[in-house]
Amino acid sequence: SDLREQEERGELLQPLIFVSLVLCSVLLYLKVSLMDPGFVKPEEEAEEAEGQGLVMPQVPGDIKLRRCGYCLVKQPMRARHCQLCQHCVRRYDHHCPWLENCVGERNHPLFIGYLSVQLVVLLWGGHVAWSGLYFQQSWEWLQHNILLLLSFLLIVIFTIVVLLLLVSHLYLISCNTTTWEFMSHHRISYLRHSELENPFDQGIILNLWGFFC
């Protein structure tokens, strides 16, 4: 009867939504960490994909595609070999130690979705933890609330980390560049020899549309 009364008052809706978000976050984490991030397949497939990378008019046409010295495949433009995954990854962004997988062409949008859902869960959890804290200047209060206080501090730290990650990735996506290209611009031939700082930038709207759609 108590559960029915709570349901009628709508008090069960928020916990159900929160649990659903946590479950969605876990499923996204498993999906991003276990899926193929865009591994470069045999050479004939890499060459087929290469036609799309060389149509960029701002990229010098005399840049030769290099053969990976580790897995011996001809790398498509914007691909990079990950020594931890033992594969070349298309549109390589970075290798995430928390996922034990690369973030690349195929799982990058899902990675952004995971960060977004995780941020909502952390903000909600932080709000719940904060609402349970009633500060008093006494040792007895600290003994009874130390775990809740530590939980809140951990949530704040993780929230800041996830927020910074999400904002930085959205900024790079809006510029149509990757973390690897942003950090190693001077070492990448198709960027170093380009007349433009970022030959792939088509404007914020087209960059976001091309990434998410």
Give the active site residues.
96
Q: How many CA atoms lie within 13 A of 73 on its CB side?
A: 25
> Cα–Cα distance between 199 and 194 in angstroms, integer?
7
Q: State phi, psi for 71 to the nearest 5 degrees.
A: -105, 0
CA separation for the pair 145, 151 (Å, rounded)? 10
Beta-bridge mates of residue 88:
81
The Cα–Cα gap between 114 and 208 comes to: 17
Q: How far apart are CA 144 and CA 140, in angstroms?
A: 6
Closest CA to 79 of 110, 33, 39, 45: 39
Strand segments, DSSP code E, in 4-121 are 80-82, 87-89, 94-96, 101-103
